[in-house]
Every structure is written in C-alpha cells, then in structure tokens.
C-alpha cells in the first residue's frame, strides 16, 4: 500500500522531496529518502522538529496503527503542514469495533446484528453463542492486522474463538472486548471514499480476497489480492452505499464532535437485503490501494492535500478505463509466522511480462534491501504484483502470469483473484 501511494505521489508535478518511513520496505525506500526520525509515539518531539526543519508540507499516513497512536493529531499544523488521515478520534471507527457497532446502530446504518462483551463477561458471551442457532462471527474489537476475525460454522468454533480472545488473551488488549454478530452471506466489496469533513468522494469499488486459500478456503489474511472496479458495485449499489452508509456515518461522527478527514473504507457484504457493513477501516486498503493507484488518473498529491485541507470539492479525481488486478505473493507460513530472509528474484521479469495493452508493477510490502543490493523477504505479504488491462480477465491473467515469475523459497499466491465474478455473472 505505502509503495503504491508513493509511486503515485512521485508522478505529481507538485511533489518536491519525498521522505519515507525509516522502516520502509525496499520498494518504498527506492522512491524517497528515509526519514531519520522514528515514528514511535515517544519520538514525536524530534519528528516534529525534523518536519519543521525540512519544511515538510504534507504527511500521508498509511497504516492504521499510527492513526490509533494519534500521529495525525500530533503533526497536523494547518495551514502550513497538513496530515492526510483521520484524528485518533476519527480512526476509532477502525480501532474500536465495539464502539463502531454502536455508532452504526444509532445512525441506522445497515450492518450485521450482534452484541458486544468484555473480558469480565466471558460467561455471558459463551451463553450467547450457545443460544444462537445461526452461524456467528467473533471479532476482537481492537486492531489485529486482519487476523482478529473468526468466521464460525458451529457454536463450538464460536465458543473456542470467544475463549481464545476473552480468556487466553490471544490478541492481548485488542481482544478484551469482542463483537459477536450474525454471519452474513453474499459477495464482499470494498468501497473507499475520500472524506474532507464534509464532501464525500467515492472511489471505484474493489473486491478483496481475504482467505488464504484458493476457492476462499482457510483462515483470513490481511488480503491476498484485489481487483478494481468490481462489476458487483453497480451504479445502484454505489448510490445506496453512499446514501445509507457513507453519509449517515460521517454525520454520526460529526454529532459526536468528530470531523472525519481521510479515507473512509467500508467493507460491505452484498446481502439479499442490500449492502451491509462488515467493518470500517479509516485508511487505504491493502491490497485495494495497489489496484486503485494503477488506475488513478489525476494528481494524487493534490487529492490528498485537498482532503486534509477540507477543499475536496474542487479535486480532479478520475480512473482510467479498463481493470486492474493485484495478486499478493506471500511467504511460507503466512498468515502465521512467515519465513523471512530469502532472496527475491524475478521482479524485473515480472514487470517486463506485460503485453501490449497491459502494464505490470510489482509493489513491495514485506521486503528489505540486502547488503548485496538485492531484495529479500521480510514479512508475510511480500509483493503485490499488480496489472492493468482493458478488462478484468486480461488484468487477472497478466497479474497472475507476472506473479509466476517471482521466485523465492516457499513463495505462494492465489491464482483465482477476480474469479468469483469471472466465473459467475455479475448479478450472482
Ligand atoms: P473485518 O475485519 O471485520 O472486515 O472481517 C474480516 C473478514 O471476515 C471480512 O472481510 C469478511 O470476509 C469476514 N466477516 C466479517 N464479518 C462478517 C460477517 N458478519 N459475516 C460474514 N463474514 C464476515
Ligand atoms: N484489504 C483489507 C484491509 O486493508 O484491511
């Protein structure tokens, strides 16, 4: 995600100098100068002095953990220096699912029906899952890098999930509260919008693939691949999402005294009863962003600046025709503990494999530069191989084919990104 954002920011005629996170992966580091100050909360004083000295005018925050830590609150100094991203209070939609659920319910935003329990209510939570006859989903309320959600088939699984969070503290403090909700059925889409406090600008919708295995099997991950746009998000669906989800959520936040600025990302299930919210994220999706950036037409820097400044109304945001598809190449062990330190080969070959009407870019995630000048694996999701083409089938083929050129021991990927809609008609 961060590599893709930086790749697009680099294309802006307004970009002066680009600084990147000191802990950035090899791809991101190659695009800018590593900031010499750590982003740790305890280093904010020095980080701010550094931003002042270098006259940094815009800070773009990628990951949710920094939002929860209040990085935006600390660094946003309008009009001179703006930070793209919500305040800690706005990001609460993502870092406190229990609170989010309450807010959605109060605002009548369609979402799965459910209840919240804390660690002192273990027995009540267990009683609740045993008493439900329909399958449920158990969610840790806090941030868990996409791994805090257990989609259950049986009450026994739900009970085990509740115990793992409330009793065994599998997710630490992030699991001290759990949300237990009805399991929804349908196709899932990701709708991201830029929000500047007032104006809501809906971006082209994507479909992510959360489960680790082909055919949607195995545990959930942070995302194994995405494509954009998805034909599931028809005009009618997008209008409904804007009217019933985005607008009432931004309004509900405002009633709480929170002016939301940044990306509002709704994870939605398209149910028989219409789109329902599975979760909100308050930052760009990963890997949705890689698919979005490859089709982004205008000046991203201008769009992000305007979002942070509250002047999104005059932005020039558009997407190229055709489709993009992102295939994530993972390291052995993911979504558990991945194997790391292996040399990655084939990035050049993958990018050169694009056909005449295609383009392929290998965005990096879990990588680092090795001493010998190469790139080695350093995380579970290693590369996001992303292609654009005139249609989804060709984008999927180009990305999957390109990803096949990537070599490191234990590398794996899903070859069925986009296949849910390619196999079935879009109305399924
Ligand atoms: P979340 O982090 O809340 O989006 O959950 C991660 C994934 O779990 C989602 O992308 C869905 O695939 C699945 N999920 C979450 N909530 C539900 C639900 N109520 N019904 C069915 N699947 C769900
Ligand atoms: N693609 C899922 C996420 O960014 O949370």
The string of pLDDT tens digits covering residues 286-343 is: 999 999 999 999 999 999 999 999 999 989 999 999 999 999 999 999 999 999 999 9
Ligand nearest to the CA of 189: 1
* The ligand 1 atom nearest the CA atom of 182: 19
Per-residue model confidence as pLDDT tens digits over 273-289 = 999 999 999 999 999 99
- Whether 81 has a pLDDT exceeding 50, the answer reads yes
Please tell me if the CB atom of residue 276 comes closer than 6 angstroms to any atom of ligand 1. Answer: no
The confidence band for 423, taking pLDDT boundaries of 50, 70 and 90, is confident
Residue ranges around ligand 2 (CB below 6 Å): 146, 208, 222-223, 281, 285-286, 288
In this structure, the chain runs to a length of 428
Average pLDDT over residues 2-25: 97
Predicted local distance difference test score (pLDDT) of residue 428: 42
The confidence band for 425, taking pLDDT boundaries of 50, 70 and 90, is low
- Whether 210 has a pLDDT exceeding 90, the answer reads yes
The confidence band for 426, taking pLDDT boundaries of 50, 70 and 90, is low
* The ligand 2 atom nearest the CA atom of 279: 5
Average pLDDT over residues 39-59: 97
Q: Whose CA is nearest to atom 5 of ligand 2?
A: 285
Ligand nearest to the CA of 100: 1
What whole-number distance in Å separates Cα of residue 195 and Cα of residue 382? 30
Q: For the ranges 143-152, 223-232, 335-344, which has the lowest average pLDDT?
A: 143-152
Q: Whose CA is nearest to atom 2 of ligand 1?
A: 146
Average pLDDT over residues 385-399: 98
Q: How far is CA 172 from CA 125, 142, 168, 177, 180, in A?
A: 18, 9, 9, 10, 18
Residues 6+ apart with CB under 8 A from 94: 64, 67, 68, 100, 143, 279, 280, 281, 282, 283
What whole-number distance in Å separates Cα of residue 418 and Cα of residue 402? 16
Q: pTM for the whole thing?
A: 0.96
Average pLDDT over residues 169-183: 93
């Amino acid at each position: 995600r961060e590599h893709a954002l930086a790749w697009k920011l680099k294309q802006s005629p307004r970009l002066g100098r680009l600084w990147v996170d000191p802990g950035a992966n090899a791809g991101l580091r190659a695009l800018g100068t590593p900031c010499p100050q750590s982003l740790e909360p305890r280093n904010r004083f020095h980080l701010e002095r550094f931003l002042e000295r270098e006259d940094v005018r815009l800070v773009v925050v990628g990951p949710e953990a920094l939002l929860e830590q209040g990085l935006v609150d600390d660094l946003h100094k309008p009009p001179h220096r703006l930070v793209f991203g919500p305040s800690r209070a706005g990001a609460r939609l993502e870092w406190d699912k229990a609170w989010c659920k309450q807010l959605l319910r109060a605002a009548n935003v369609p979402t799965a029906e459910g209840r919240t329990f804390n660690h002192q209510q273990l027995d009540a939570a267990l009683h609740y899952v045993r008493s439900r006859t329909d399958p449920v989903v158990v969610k840790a309320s806090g941030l868990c890098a996409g791994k805090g959600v257990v989609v259950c088939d049986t009450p026994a699984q739900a009970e085990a999930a509740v115990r793992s969070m409330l009793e065994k503290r599998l997710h630490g403090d992030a699991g001290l509260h759990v949300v237990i909700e009805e399991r929804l059925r349908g196709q899932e889409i990701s709708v991201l919008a830029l929000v500047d406090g007032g104006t809501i600008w809906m971006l082209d919708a994507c479909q992510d693939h959360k489960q680790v295995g082909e055919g949607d099997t195995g545990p959930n991950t942070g995302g194994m691949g995405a494509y954009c746009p998805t034909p599931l998000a028809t005009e009618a669906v997008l209008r409904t999402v804007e009217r019933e989800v985005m607008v009432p959520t931004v309004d509900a936040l405002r009633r709480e005294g929170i002016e939301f600025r940044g990306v509002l990302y709704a994870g939605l299930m398209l149910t028989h009863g219409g789109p329902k919210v599975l979760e909100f994220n308050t930052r760009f999706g990963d890997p949705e962003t890689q698919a979005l950036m490859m089709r982004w037409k205008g000046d991203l820097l201008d769009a992000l600046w305007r979002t942070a400044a509250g002047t999104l109304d005059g932005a020039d945001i558009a997407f190229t025709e055709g489709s993009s598809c992102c295939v994530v190449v993972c390291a052995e062990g993911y979504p558990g503990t991945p194997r790391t330190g292996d040399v990655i080969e084939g990035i050049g070959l993958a990018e050169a494999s694009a056909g005449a009407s295609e383009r392929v870019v290998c965005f990096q995630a879990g990588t680092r530069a090795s001493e010998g000048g190469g790139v080695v694996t350093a995380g579970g999701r290693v590369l996001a191989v992303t292609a654009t083409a005139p249609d989804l089938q060709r984008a999927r083929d180009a990305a999957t084919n390109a990803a096949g050129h990537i070599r490191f021991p234990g590398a794996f990927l899903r070859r069925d990104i986009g296949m849910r809609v390619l196999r079935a008609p879009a109305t399924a």
